[in-house]
Amino acid sequence: MSEDRTHLTAERRSEFGKGAARRIRRASKIPAVMYGHGSEPVHITLPGHETMLALKNVNALLTITLDGEEQLALAKDVQRDPIKPVIEHVDLVIVKKGEKVTVDVPVHVEGEAGPETVVTVDSQTLQLEVEATNIPESLVVSVEGLEAGTQIVAGQVELPAGAALLVDEDTLVVNITQQISEEALEAELAEAEAEAGIEKDETDEEAAEGDEAAAEGESEAPAEESDSE
């Protein structure tokens, strides 16, 4: 839960723009903005390494110390470099202790379903309304021993105390189906090709045999006599 929050010491910044942001990142810091509760946005810099570690956790609750005062905040948007493991910018939203916030919480499946089954997670996250200081890291769904044909919907997922589900209770979260055999898969593929009007003139094996025969014929053909003497 988010009670184990990370403390980060921030600095105010007065320089803006791409050039300023590059200078901040070269100094191993991260540009950020903090806003919420009707206050004016505050532009800050955060310590690079500590912030990257803190934001490995989804919906991490942070305690930001700025000018000697502490403020609770959640990362609303984290902009990452598409190639390098670098955070380019962070938007932080101010929260108050006891306040409820809307967050998307990851679904974590554990256990092993029945034999010859396939477990599909249809909803990777569920949207909840929870206290800012009581955000779960994940929602655990057990599939231990469940048989093919079993479906788990959002209303069946256990939520932390005080949390409210913000999606339809019938939203499919986990679907357990029968594992399809190789023969059945080939039959389905053939049926799909037939419906699409795709016809095979020869099997792959026949085509391969034809290619081999053609190659042998070319190698046995007599060499053409040269016109030159």
Judge whether 1 and 160 are in contact, CB under 8 Å.
Answer: yes
Tell me if 146 sits within 8 A of 113, measured CB to CB: yes
> What is the rounded distance in angstroms from the CA atom of residue 12 to the CA atom of residue 83?
28
Strands 100-110 and 39-47: unpaired
Q: Tell me how crowded residue 139 is: count the other CB atoms within 10 A of its CB.
A: 22
Q: What is the mean pLDDT of residues 208-212?
A: 58
Q: List the CATH code of the domain at 101-178.
A: 2.170.120.20
Q: Where are the domains of the chain?
A: 6-95, 101-178, 182-219
Rounded CA-CA distance 182/165 in Å is 40
185 sits in the region (left: phi over 0; alpha: psi -120 to 50; else beta) called alpha
Q: How far apart are CA 194 and CA 217, in angstroms?
A: 35
Report pTM.
0.71
pLDDT at 198: 74
Q: CATH number for the 6-95 domain, one of 3.40.710.10, 1.10.645.10, 2.40.240.10, 3.40.449.10? A: 2.40.240.10
pLDDT digits (tens, 9 = 90+) for 49-79: 999 999 988 888 999 999 999 999 999 889 8
Using alpha carbons only, give the angle 61, 67, 70 rounded to the nearest 5 degrees: 30
Confidence of residue 172 (pLDDT cuts 50, 70, 90): very high
Residue 123: is its pLDDT beyond 70?
yes
